[in-house]
Amino acid sequence: MSPRAAELPSPPVASTPPEASAAALSTRGAVAFVSPALLLIGVFLVFPALWTLYLGITDYRLTGLQAANPQVIGLDNFTSALGDPAFANSLWVTVLYVLGSAVVGQMGLGFALAWVFRRWRGPARSALEVLVITAWIIPSSVVAFLWIAFLDTHHGTLNVALGNADIPWLFSWPLLSIIVFNTWRGTAFSMLLFGGALNTVPPSYLETARLAGASSWQQLRDIVLPSIRGHILTNLLLISLWTFNDFSPYLITAGGPNFATDTLPIYIFRNALVNFQLGYGAAISAILLLINLGIALIYLRLLRART
Amino acid sequence: MDRDRPTLMPAPTPEPSESALLVRRFLSRIGFYLFVVIVGAFFALPMLWLVFAPFDAHPTLAATPPSSPTLANFPDLLKDPYALPSLANSVVLAAATMVLVVAAAAPAAYALSRVRIPGRDLLLYVLLLFSSVVTGTAAMVPLFLLVFDLGLINTYVGVVLVLAGGLIPAGIFILKDFVDSMPKSYEESARVFGAGSFQILRDIVLPYARPGLAVIAVWVVVNVWSNFLIPFILLRDPGMLPAAVVVYNFYTEGGQANLRLISSFGLLYSIPVVLMYLFVNRRYGFRFYGGIKG
């Protein structure tokens, strides 16, 4: 590509940490750049979140005496949650949902697509890319209808495609159904992020590797994956958190049948907004927050461990 | 292990024979096409219903081509006083939130990428955690009370601020990764020529992070466009409601789901965001090779 044939690509060393030259941006400039975002986040995100945590230690309800004058009841909400088999079931369902649909489904398929797309041009590629992104862009309420229709026992496209199999997917395989659904729904984000990430890998590195006889697999393992490690972990963290807190299965299965798809957000919704136990619901939210914190800390460790 | 081997038989040729290469290439082609066809079908089949049902006079849950295609479902939408205006409302909310998120997240991502603040990463992770939990159902009551106290109930300002507050952390997070990968030498040379922080942000960082900006812009619009909960609890006037809320009217009227209105409205409601993505993809693209041209 370069007109200067003698120019050698620089070796693929790890990029220098951004902190290395703080001089490019003055501290005052940095504060000015960060303040608007922090102000918005502080008022409309952190403050309500802390308020939720406070509600978790109260017996706040929407109706009755506790609505007017909620009492602090300490950790009672937490102990009753941890003793509730329905909560344990929700937690397990949520873990399977996240592992199956986010980590394996979205991440695996998203990377595979980005990798296949990296040098493939043409109408077929564009069509496939548009399909994947359309699945991600169609609004949730419409998507819920599409999947209810798609998985319908008698008329559903899936059963028709399988030769009128008449399998009641949402009844016999409810968790698998929403895992596949969420993979379909969210793969585009990973695909786009990995697509952008793969483009930040300097083509000269790959060119050099190719000239040295490295196979696609070797290029992937030795050059691409190390240089987009940060993107991979960021993506993993984001999609795990989003899937953990995803409410959209409710629109398809409402948590059923028999709580087989009762993920934690649905459990919270049922307790806080159907049964009006806002304090109890907030306590579960706090537990969800702690689980998310655990996930984030694991990723943070991974990110640090190899930097 | 078998040290005698090289003396007993000729060393294997370093390159496989021509025909073996051809077979391997052929098999990998087959695998490639198989992958593309299966993945394509997986993503296309669930959408078939949205292609056929809006043009069916009597849609069912079956995704079959209508025997006599009709456009009659769409004029019926016009009769609904809230259906079409709700789409315009969604545009206003999505555009305003997108501008606010990009405007706040881009400078913050740049600053956080370049300035060493103790506990910076931890701060980002904690904010990300808050955002993932607070945008859920649990913080509904505090959010309502907060917006009520600010006097912003039934205003788009209230909805946009709450939505932006929830989306900015992830926006910063994604953008920071793109800025981190930008070589320091770009800014340093600009600094040598006397560029200020704002100029560097505008002329160097933002163009470099353009794939990241496109990713978060599209992502914000998609999120706002389908967000049901926040406008549902913060808006009162039915004429101000976005499409995500209005689509549920078709469930309740008459008790049964009206598949004619749901499918035709679903199509109208879905098309703008899909087109917007196609536009952004063509205009900015995600094919960016990490460097300033020239």
Question: Which pLDDT does position A288 carry in this prediction?
Answer: 82
Whether residue A66 lies inside any domain: the answer is no
Residues of B in contact with A152 (CB under 8 A): 61-62
Whether this model's pTM surpasses 0.80: no
pLDDT tens-digit readout, A5-57 = 333 333 344 444 444 444 557 777 788 888 899 899 888 888 887 887 787 78
Query: What's the mean pLDDT in B38-55?
Result: 90
Is A48 within 8 Å of B62 when comparing Cβ atoms? no
Whether residue A34 lies inside any domain: the answer is no
The shortest C-alpha distance from A103 to chain B (Å) reads 17
Whether residue A70 lies inside any domain: the answer is no
Sequence-separated contacts (24+) of A215-221 with Cβ below 8 Å: A220/A115
Is B47 within 8 Å of A113 when comparing Cβ atoms? no
Q: Does B27 touch chain A (CB under 8 A)?
A: no
Structural contact between residues A36 and A245, judged by C-beta atoms closer than 8 angstroms: no
Which band of pLDDT confidence, cut at 50, 70 and 90, is reported for residue B283?
low
> What's the rounded Cα separation, in Å, for the pair B48 and B146?
42
Question: Which pLDDT does position A307 carry in this prediction?
Answer: 53
Is A137 within 8 Å of B47 when comparing Cβ atoms? no
Nearest to B121 among A148, A202, A300 (CB): A300
Which band of pLDDT confidence, cut at 50, 70 and 90, is reported for residue B162?
very high
Domain count within chain A: 1
Report the residue of chain A nearest B134, measured CA to CA.
A49
The shortest C-alpha distance from B188 to chain A (Å) reads 6
ipTM for the whole predicted complex goes beyond 0.90: no
Which band of pLDDT confidence, cut at 50, 70 and 90, is reported for residue A306?
low
Q: Which domain range does residue A163 map to?
A: 75-305
Is B115 within 8 Å of A30 when comparing Cβ atoms? yes
Which band of pLDDT confidence, cut at 50, 70 and 90, is reported for residue A64?
low
> What's the rounded Cα separation, in Å, for the pair A98 and A241?
9
Q: Does B271 touch chain A (CB under 8 A)?
A: no
Question: Which pLDDT does position B68 carry in this prediction?
Answer: 77
Residues of A in contact with B174 (CB under 8 A): 193, 234, 238
Is B47 within 8 Å of A146 when comparing Cβ atoms? yes
What number of other Cβ atoms are within 10 A of residue B224's Cβ? 27
DSSP β-bridge partners for residue A58: A72
Query: What's the mean pLDDT in B133-147?
Result: 72
Question: Which pLDDT does position B6 carry in this prediction?
Answer: 43
Report the residue of chain A nearest B135, measured CA to CA.
A45
Q: Does B89 touch chain A (CB under 8 A)?
A: no
Whether residue A40 lies inside any domain: the answer is no
Whether residue A227 lies inside any domain: the answer is yes
Residue A236's H or E segment, with its range, is: helix A229-244
Question: Which pLDDT does position A106 carry in this prediction?
Answer: 94
What number of other Cβ atoms are within 10 A of residue A72's Cβ? 11
Is A142 within 8 Å of B50 when comparing Cβ atoms? yes
Q: At A123, which CATH number?
A: 1.10.3720.10
What is the phi/psi pair of residue A280, to 5°? -65, -45
> What's the rounded Cα separation, in Å, for the pair A63 and A74?
20
Which of B 165-224 lie inside 8 A of A, CB atoms?
165-166, 168-170, 172-174, 177-181, 183-184, 187-188, 191, 196-198, 200-201, 211-212, 215, 218-219, 222
Question: Which pLDDT does position A156 carry in this prediction?
Answer: 82
Whether residue A290 lies inside any domain: the answer is yes
The shortest C-alpha distance from A106 to chain B (Å) reads 12
Identify which of A102-116, B76-90, B247-261 has the greatest average pLDDT: A102-116
Alpha-carbon distances, residue A275 vs A245, A268, A280, B68, B259 (angstroms): 20, 10, 10, 47, 30
Q: Is the pLDDT of residue A228 over 70?
A: yes
Whether residue A59 lies inside any domain: the answer is no
If one compares A292 and A182, the residue with the highest pLDDT of the two is: A182
Least confident interval from A5-14, A70-79, B217-226: A5-14
Question: Which pLDDT does position B133 carry in this prediction?
Answer: 63
Give the end-to-end CA distance of chain A in Å, rounded to a whole number. Answer: 31
Question: Which pLDDT does position B8 carry in this prediction?
Answer: 45
Question: Which pLDDT does position B163 carry in this prediction?
Answer: 92
Lookup result for tokens 């997240």: B105
Whether residue A37 lies inside any domain: the answer is no
If one compares B156 and B202, the residue with the highest pLDDT of the two is: B156
Type of residue found at A177? S
Best interface-test mutation with A: which of B61, B64, B258, B288 has the largest number of A CBs within 10 A?
B61
A286-299 burial, b at 16+ Cβ within 10 Å, e below that, comes to: bbbbebbeebbeeb
Q: What is the mean pLDDT of chain A?
A: 80
